[in-house]
Amino acid sequence: MNTLKEILFEHFTWRSQILKLAKSDIIKTYSGAALGWAWALVKPLITISVFWFAFTYGIRGSGGGVNGYPFALWMIPGFVAWFFMSDMLTQGANAIRKYSFLVTKMKFPIATIPTFVGISKLAVHICLMIITCLIFIATGHYPDIYWLQVFVYMFFMVLFWISWGLFSSMLAAMSKDFLNLVKSISTAIFWLSGIMWDVNTIGIPILQKILYFNPVTYIATGYRNCFIYKVWFWEEPLQLEIFIGMYIVMVILAIWSYNKLKKDIPDVL
């Protein structure tokens, strides 16, 4: 509990610097490009367009829909959530190494580094969500009360992946092998998490429950509950309980890694 209090206190004390560094992270990532930070939106939109074409007119052939929605519309909410989660999966793990100068050259709280990286990714994610809403409206699917819970799933997503960022970046700072492992499994996580297929169509109940132990699956399906399935997050209590359990485990791991490694990381870097 003392470590958790320390982390929370550092976030409160350095809150202004965290926001400034989040803005700086966006600028730094896309500096030197003519379109600047707009590339953060262009790349995901191109990827979505390619997958939409491939699965609507290529692999799926018939161009069938899901739950009465065209496949492209069903795909987009989960895909947009994945872009944030995939960035945090790899770049969150690399956060401390990327900003090692904050650790080695000045007295900056290590625990806040994954946080401002996560906030910078969240800013891009919010822009993509606005575009998603506009796409649904343009295709005749207007906002309803279920859309409001996007903020709930977004909150869940940010909390979990910032905790992951702290845990993984501490380990990755100590060993590049861990970072390479994370990068190598990102593609497998994508295809096993229901980003491109409907988890609800699996006919084996026990397998479906196991899949919900994957936070990526829970968040991607949750976004689709807002736009496609029209299901409130409390109407699926088992999935919610599993996610909360996984989040608690991740927080414990983050606190453990921080407590064990914070004194060694400046020397290693």
Kindly report, residue by residue over 128-144, the tens digit of the pLDDT: 999 899 999 998 899 99
The whole-angstrom separation of Cα 96 and Cα 172 is 8
263 pLDDT higher than 50: yes
pTM: 0.89
Residue 122, CA distances (Å) to 91, 100, 154, 159 in order: 13, 22, 9, 11
pLDDT (tens digit per residue) in 87-104:
999 999 999 999 988 888
Burial class (CB in 10 A: 0-12, 13-18, 19+), 204: exposed
Q: How many residues does the chain have?
A: 269
Residues 75, 72: Cα–Cα separation, whole Å:
5
CA distance 100 to 149: 37
For residue 43, pLDDT over 60 is answered with: yes
pLDDT digits (tens, 9 = 90+) for 204-224: 788 888 888 999 999 999 999
Please count the structural domains in the chain.
1
What pLDDT was estimated at residue 93? 94
- pLDDT, position 33: 54
Determine the Cα–Cα distance for residues 108 and 70; give it in Å rounded to an integer. 48
* pLDDT for the residue 232: 95
Query: 259 near 111, Cβ under 8 Å?
Result: no
Q: What is the mean pLDDT of residues 234-248?
A: 94
How far apart are the C-alpha atoms of 127 and 109, rounded to whole Å?
29
- For the chain, the 3-state helix, strand and coil shares in percent, each to the nearest 5, are 80, 0, 20
Higher per-residue confidence, 238 vs 53? 238
Single-letter amino acid, residue 209: K
Domain housing 181 = 2-268
Share of the chain above pLDDT 90, in %: 52
Question: What rounded mean pLDDT belongs to the chain?
Answer: 87
pLDDT for residue 260 is more than 50: yes
The predicted-structure confidence for 47-93, as pLDDT tens digits, reads as follows 777 877 776 665 554 455 677 788 888 989 999 999 999 999 999 99
* Long-range CB pairs of 26-31, under 8 A, 24+ apart, other chains included: 26/120, 26/123, 26/124, 29/120
pLDDT at residue 172 tops 90: yes
Q: Residue 176's closest CA among 105, 98, 254?
A: 98
